[in-house]
Structure formats: C-alpha cells, structure tokens
Amino acid sequence: MPVLSAAAEGAGPSPRSGAPAPAEAGRYDGSEPAEALPIRPLTFREALDLPFAVLQAHVRVLAGLLGVAYLIAVGAVAAITAAGSAATGGSDAGTAWAAVLSTAVFAWLLRWYARGCTAAAGSASVHGDSVTWRSVLRRLGATAGPVLRYRIVSTALAMGVLVLGAVLIVTILPALAWLGWLHARRCLTVPVLVEETATYRQAAARAKTLAAGAEWRLAGLWLALRALLLVLVVPLLGVTLFVAGFSGTHRWATIVLATATALFVALLAEVMQAAADVVSYVDRRCRRDGWDIRVPLPPDANRAAAG
C-alpha cells in the first residue's frame, strides 16, 4: 500500500526536528528511501493497516538488523540447552528447563531490541528521512536504557495481570481486557522517547496524556494485532510440526526447531506492535496537539527567514 507524504498533508512541526518533510531529492547514500506517514488523524482501519506499510518501507534494513539478532539468539539458546543437558547428564527434565528458560530470556531480549529498532525506523517515516542500519543503531543507542526500562515495567505488569486473571478461569477474559487498557496507557512511551527529548518518567507521563480518551481504541488495536498474529502463526506452527514429523524422533532437531519458532513468533509480535505504536503516536499527536495544523508565517517572517 503506498504511504502518503507528510508534506502533502501539510504536516505540523515536530519537537525534535521541525516539520516532517521528505528526504532531499537527488541524494542517495545506499539507504532505503523512507515514505512518510500521513500526518493527520487516522481511522481505526488505517491505524491497523499503516504499521505494515511502515515495515514494508524499511524491510531490508529491519530484516538485516533483526535477522542477525534472531540467528544469534537461536544459536545461543541451542548452546545453552546443550550445556544444560550435559550438566544434568542428558536428563529430559534438565534439557527441557534449559530450553524453556533460555528461550524465554532471549525472546525477552529480542523484543527489547526489536522495539527500539522498529521505533527508530518508524520515526523516519514520520519525517521522511532515509534509513540506514547505522542510523537505526544510533537512535537505538540513544534510547536503549529507557526502552529497557519500558520493557521491564511492561513485563512486570503483564505477568501480574495474567497471574491475577489465572486465579479463576472466568477472570481470564476480563484480565486480558484490563491488560489491553494498561498497555494502551503506556504503548506510546517508546515513540515519545524517540521523537521527543524526555526521560523515561517524562515519556511515560506524556504517553498517558496522549492516550487519554483513546485507551479502549488503542486496546482494541492491540487485541486486533494479537488476533492477526494468531492467524499468521497457525500456518507457521503447521510447517513446524510437519518438519518435526519429517525429521522423525531426532531430539535436538525438534528442540532447535521449537525454540527457533518461539523466538520468531516473539520477534514478529514485537515488530508489529512497535510499528503500530508509531502510527498511533502520529494519530494522537494530531488529535491532541494539532500536529497536522500548519500555521503560515507572516510575509515579513518569510523574508527574514529567506534572508
């Protein structure tokens, strides 16, 4: 789907680098050209569709950065699982625990890394900047600490809500709705960190302000993306089971395949959500801050700026 240029929409000023504008024509430095997001209030359908346009615009850079991290994670999980199996004399329980715990840890780290990279690339879609792997890593490095803190708090909240919801089976659905609402109040934190000069506390407070009045819309978007992820994962699980059956009873082939699939699903979920949060940030800035309103300068000011 083509993404509209912000300049064509009359974008308002950004607190970080002025009005979003497309990259300069005639300049090419080996990076991917960034198509800007439309700087205007978005419908729910657009908020659900545009994240994939953002990812498509930077697919090569993100695939390279995230693909390398994914392969490192798969290799590390396999090595840790093998070490755990050797330490426990090859017991099934020891091998299983090593595989589960190492997969959980590296999935968590992958999600932190993917969140920062995707938000940095998505920010370029707002301003029409070109994206290279160096620029993404530079932005990630500038916000790595606060994004890590965001990931820690998000994990603690999710685990707490799900544990409370698991006490009674009938409370699972209300717990998921509550988790979606809590996520909606915090989901714009990382885009704020990337776009605006703010500490983590300031970004978290700013995210709540931007999300005010739209919590259930953002929660609905979160649930819709989870449902879409489920649709995408089912065929992937089918392929995984087919390959596992084809490989027979080879223990290590099955373990590596299962852990690699789990890591891929975690990575895919985080990339989709991070891109959606960037799109939602643009929508909320337009609705609350009038980001799409362009105030013309007086003629005297234009002449002074030109001079």
Per residue in 69-113, pLDDT tens? 999 999 999 999 999 999 988 888 889 999 999 999 999 999 999
What residue ranges do the domains of the chain occupy? 44-289
Q: What does pTM read for this prediction?
A: 0.82
Residue 81 to residue 96: CA distance in whole angstroms: 8
pLDDT attached to residue 14: 42
% of the chain with per-residue pLDDT over 70: 82
Which tens digit of pLDDT belongs to each residue from 252-269? Answer: 888 898 899 999 999 999
Q: Is the pLDDT of residue 25 over 60?
A: no
Tens of pLDDT, residues 176-222:
899 999 999 999 999 999 999 889 999 999 999 999 999 999 999 99
Does position 6 have pLDDT exceeding 90, yes or no? no
